[in-house]
Structure 1
Amino acid sequence: MTDSVGIAVVDKLPGWTSHQVVGRCRRILGTRKVGHAGTLDPMATGVLVIGVNRATRLLGHLMLTEKEYAATIRLGITTVTDDAEGDLTGAPGAAGLEEPAVRAAIPAFTGDILQIPTAVSAIKVDGKRAYARVRAGEDVTLQSRPVTVHAFDLHEVRPGMAEGVHVLDCDVTVRCSSGTYIRALARDLGARLGTGGHLTALRRTRVGPFGLDRAHVVDADSDALPLLSLDDVVPECFDTLEVDERAAAAIRYGQRLPGVPLSGLTALLDRGRFLALYRPDGQDAVPEAVFV
């Protein structure tokens, strides 16, 4: 077993589940305590942030960060999963639909919006995953939830044929809050345009400060995985505050810090060494997670 602690940035391959990536990382690193921040569907590729040993305690906070995607939306066909992996549910086609109409529809899905997640998702409904209920033949309707789409940019638009109908493939990039379903954006954009839509490609290009430029492919032959130290990556992810020796000693015991006002969740450092995440409580600071 290794006592290594840190964050790994993986470029997930198509066809792998996020759980399979975690399993491979466990074998590479020789430890069971490995997790990820934010599931990617098997079809999707790109940035998957991995936490190792104590760093797994950061993952819940990293899941809440902003994300970026590159995707291809196919207008004219719908599927049960809202992506290319699901069974076809309709093929109204996109004959007559042109780029200006698509561009005019996109602003409705930009900014603070309410989004109904894809039914085939990991969201729990009465304690059971929504995708399991769908696979069992149940009709699943999820509640809408607020998300923020900071940017939704349309690039190339390509007419084509699929399933015997005219379709329109649209290459887009999306920058959004955690919890945003790109599959649902494809579905809803198609519906707004009077047809249907689903994803044919999805690549996550960034999670918070972690982009593809720092990502490493993990496959069946991988025998090493570079780790980023918490001392290096935490200042990229959180506001920071250097503390004195007396406060550092209190932090090690998870004690309240009276008279230390914080503006939000903050990483406390002792001469650059990451000690803990603290949050504000009135004019004091209280521990969220202690790492030493």
Structure 2
Amino acid sequence: MDTTDSPRPARPTDPLADSGLVIIDKPQGLTSHDVVATTRRAMKTKKVGHAGTLDPMATGVLVTGINRGTKTLAHLVGLDKTYRATIRFGMTTTTEDAAGEETSRADASGLTRATIDELAGRFTGDIMQKPSSVSAIKIAGKRAHQRVREGEEVDIPARPVTISRLDVVSDVRVHDGYADVDVVVDCSSGTYIRALARDLGQAAGTGAHLGSLRRTAVGPFTIGEAITIDQLEADPAVTITIDEALARCYPRFDVSADQARALAQGKWLDPVGLTGVHAAVGPDGKTVALVKESGKRLATVFVARPSTL
């Protein structure tokens, strides 16, 4: 029988092919919301979100989720962050960064690298940090910075954060009574670098504010794989699949095809001795779910590939 003109069966497509992450190198002057709005237009979808705000003055890694990738963001916001920042000793501002108005000035020209290194050591490790009053933290449903703009006095209690690395990576640059230094910070989610600059300035007795800030990593996602807004608009596409994203952020747990189908249906498996959340990966290399053991169950924390897709 001649089958030359017989139609070929349609090749199966991945229902998550248009879902995943895009790592953006956020430019200075744009809000995180601005980046999300631009990404929505470029990707032609309303389902775009981000995992961790960057202030307009800051640049660097902004993790955006596309389509079903938005549902993974809640499982990425707790990732550690890395920043490179410039701290200016000798001036405090209303916003604790260079965008604010000057509130005090002191001569910081006598500060040395050794002194600043010693101060940095005081703020390394598990510490209590008082967030900036102009942060995005919500107080009774309204963000702190909104309350400040409306003339309210805002006092946010100190909270525990971890600064695993605070290295001074430049010489002290003294000019006009100021002392500028560059630092690299590895820290837990929820750490405010402007608050760190404020506290270092208080410890130095000169005051300080954040001169510039660039986020170079969010967990395993680095500035080296980030794309610019112009690059996104020229070639709008997911750059990291949901499968890759979850497998990079969590330890891998290989499951059989039958187990993958069960997890896709939200069913639980027998425990195998896992500690913490793992990415369950099927024989096809697809991450079906995030799983965690609880009692006598290995249950899903998040189903990436539900059977209903």
Q: TM-score if structure 2 supplies the norm length?
A: 0.89
Match of 2:3 in 1: none
Among residues 236, 261, 269, which one is paired with 1:257 in the alignment? 269
Match of 2:83 in 1: 69
Among residues 111, 118, 125, which one is paired with 2:132 in the alignment? 118
Provide the rounded CA distance (Å) in 2 between the counterparts of 1:209 and 1:221. Answer: 20
Provide the rounded CA distance (Å) in 2 between the counterparts of 1:155 and 1:244. Answer: 48
1:139 paired to 2:150: no
Q: CA deviation at 1:107?
A: 0.5
Match of 1:170 in 2: 181
Match of 1:55 in 2: 69
Match of 2:173 in 1: 158
1:288 paired to 2:297: no
Runs (5+) with no aligned partner, structure 1: none
1:8 partner SS: strand
Q: CA deviation at 1:259?
A: 2.7
Residues 74-113 of structure 1, C-alpha deviations (whole Å, 9 max, x = no match): 0011111111111221112314222221111110110111
1:149 partner SS: strand
Larger radius of gyration: 2
Among residues 162, 183, 192, which one is paired with 1:181 in the alignment? 192
Name whichever structure is richer in strand by fraction.
1
Match of 1:87 in 2: 101
Q: CA deviation at 1:3?
A: 6.7
1:114 partner SS: strand
- Residue 249 to residue 221, structure 1, CA distance change in 2 (3 Å): closer
Among residues 213, 222, 225, which one is paired with 2:236 in the alignment? 225
Provide the rounded CA distance (Å) in 1 between the counterparts of 2:212 and 2:227. Answer: 20
Q: CA deviation at 1:221?
A: 8.6
The answer on whether the counterparts of 1:216 and 1:225 sit within 8 Å (CA) in structure 2 is no
Letter in 1 for 2:274: L
The answer on whether the counterparts of 1:258 and 1:284 sit within 8 Å (CA) in structure 2 is yes
Provide the rounded CA distance (Å) in 2 between the counterparts of 1:221 and 1:7. Answer: 12
- Residue 45 to residue 142, structure 1, CA distance change in 2 (3 Å): same
Provide the rounded CA distance (Å) in 2 between the counterparts of 1:169 and 1:160. Answer: 8
The sequence identity of aligned pairs, in percent, is: 46
1:47 partner SS: strand
Runs (5+) with no aligned partner, structure 2: 1-15
Q: TM-score if structure 1 supplies the norm length?
A: 0.94
Provide the rounded CA distance (Å) in 2 between the counterparts of 1:158 and 1:282. Answer: 57
The answer on whether the counterparts of 2:17 and 2:241 sit within 8 Å (CA) in structure 1 is no
Provide the rounded CA distance (Å) in 1 between the counterparts of 2:158 and 2:224. Answer: 34
Residues 246-269 of structure 1, C-alpha deviations (whole Å, 9 max, x = no match): 211211111122334421111111
Residues 151-187 of structure 1, C-alpha deviations (whole Å, 9 max, x = no match): 10002210012xxxx1100111111111111111100
Provide the rounded CA distance (Å) in 1 between the counterparts of 2:169 and 2:297. Answer: 48
The answer on whether the counterparts of 1:261 and 1:282 sit within 8 Å (CA) in structure 2 is no
The answer on whether the counterparts of 1:28 and 1:222 sit within 8 Å (CA) in structure 2 is yes
Q: Quick check: 207-216 or 88-97, which moved more?
A: 88-97
1:206 partner SS: strand
Letter in 2 for 1:59: L
1:222 partner SS: helix
Provide the rounded CA distance (Å) in 2 between the counterparts of 1:102 and 1:232. Answer: 40
- Residue 273 to residue 128, structure 1, CA distance change in 2 (3 Å): same
Q: CA deviation at 1:219?
A: 4.3
How many positions carry a matched residue from both structures? 287
Q: CA deviation at 1:242?
A: 1.1
- Residue 10 to residue 221, structure 1, CA distance change in 2 (3 Å): closer
Q: CA deviation at 1:4?
A: 0.9
